A and B are shown apart, each in its own frame.
Chain A
Amino acid sequence: METILYIATVEKDGSLAKGALEALYAALELKSTLSGAKFVAGLIGTDVQAAANSIAGCGAEKMLGVSGSDYSQARYSSDAAAVTAFAQAAQATVVIAPGTSRLNRVLPGASHRLGGVADLHITSLSADGSDLTVVHWHYRQRMKAEYQRKNRPWLLAIDPGIYPVWSGAAGTASVEMVDVALPAVRTQVTGFHTPSADEQTIRPEADLLFVAGAGWTKKQADGQTHTADAERYILGFLKATQASLGSSKSLVDLGGEGQDVLGFLTHLNQIGQTGATPRHPKGLSTCCHGEEPHVVGWRFVNERRAINLNANCGWAHGKADVLYVADAFEVMKKVIELL
Chain B
Amino acid sequence: MSTGFHIVVCAGIVPDPLQTLEPVSGPQGWALKNEMMLPACLDPWASHALFEAANLAKNVSDSKVWLVTLGPKAKVQQVMMTMAQKVPFELVALDGAANGFTDAAETAAALANAIEGIAGLDKSRLLLFGGWESASRGAGATLQIVGERLGITEQFQGVDQITIKDNGAMEILERVEGGSHQVSECSSAPAVLGWATGNLPEPPNNSQIGMQNMRLIMPALQKAPATKIGTADIAYKGIELPKQQRNTRIVKDVPVEEIAREIVDWLRG
Contact = CB atoms under 8 A, between A and B. Distances in A.
Contacts of B14: 139
Main SS at interface, chain B: mixed
Interface in B245-259: 245-254, 256-257, 259
Contacts of B232: 117, 149, 151
Contacts of A61: none
A52 B134 CA distance: 35
B264 interface: yes
A189 B235 CA distance: 39
Contact of B251 (A76, A138, A324): A324
A138 B136 contact: yes
A186 B188 CA distance: 7
Given A109-B145, A138-B100, A187-B186, A335 B260 contact: yes
B246 A74 contact: no
A284 interface: yes
A320 interface: yes
A144 interface: yes
- In this complex, the member of B140, B160, B186 whose beta carbon has the largest number of chain A beta carbons within 10 angstroms is B140
Interface in B219-269: 232-242, 245-254, 256-257, 259-264, 266-267
Interface stretch (B67-75, B150-158, B210-218): B150-158
B17 interface: yes
A331 B260 contact: yes
A80 B137 CA distance: 22
B161 to A, nearest CB: 9
Interface in A226-281: 241, 253, 256-257, 266-270, 273-275
Interface in A73-96: 74-77, 80
Contact of A74 (B176, B236, B241, B261): B176
B141 A284 contact: no
Interface stretch (B56-64, B119-127, B196-204): B196-204
B184 A120 contact: no
A264 B221 CA distance: 44
Interface residues of B, number: 90
B179 interface: yes
Contacts, number: 270
B21 interface: yes
Given A108-B140, A190-B184, A319-B246, A101 B235 contact: no
Given A145-B236, A195-B180, A335-B264, A112 B250 contact: no
Interface string A305-339: 10100010001111111111111001100110111
Contacts of B177: 100-101, 204
A335 B14 CA distance: 41
B255 to A, nearest CB: 9
B10 interface: no
Nearest to A243: B267
B175 to A, nearest CB: 7
A164 to B, nearest CB: 19
B148 A109 contact: yes
A142 interface: yes
Contacts of B178: 194, 200, 202-204
A257 B201 contact: yes
B248 A139 contact: no
Contacts of B191: 186
Interface string A99-136: 01110111111011100011111000000000001001
B11 interface: no
Contacts of B173: 193
Interface in B40-60: 44-45
A76 B196 CA distance: 17
A299 interface: yes
A112 B146 CA distance: 9
B182 A74 contact: yes
Interface of A: 74-77, 80, 100-102, 104-109, 111-113, 117-121, 133, 136-151, 183, 185-195, 200-204, 208, 241, 253, 256-257, 266-270, 273-275, 282, 284, 291-293, 299, 303-305, 307, 311, 315-327, 330-331, 334-335, 337-339
27 contacts: A74-B176, A101-B174, A105-B174, A109-B145, A111-B141, A138-B100, A138-B239, A139-B14, A141-B138, A143-B239, A187-B184, A187-B187, A193-B173, A256-B201, A273-B17, A274-B197, A291-B18, A305-B266, A315-B248, A319-B246, A320-B246, A320-B248, A321-B246, A324-B251, A325-B250, A326-B254, A338-B260
Given A140-B17, A186-B191, A194-B179, 8 more contacts: A77-B154, A105-B144, A105-B157, A149-B234, A256-B201, A267-B196, A337-B260, A339-B267
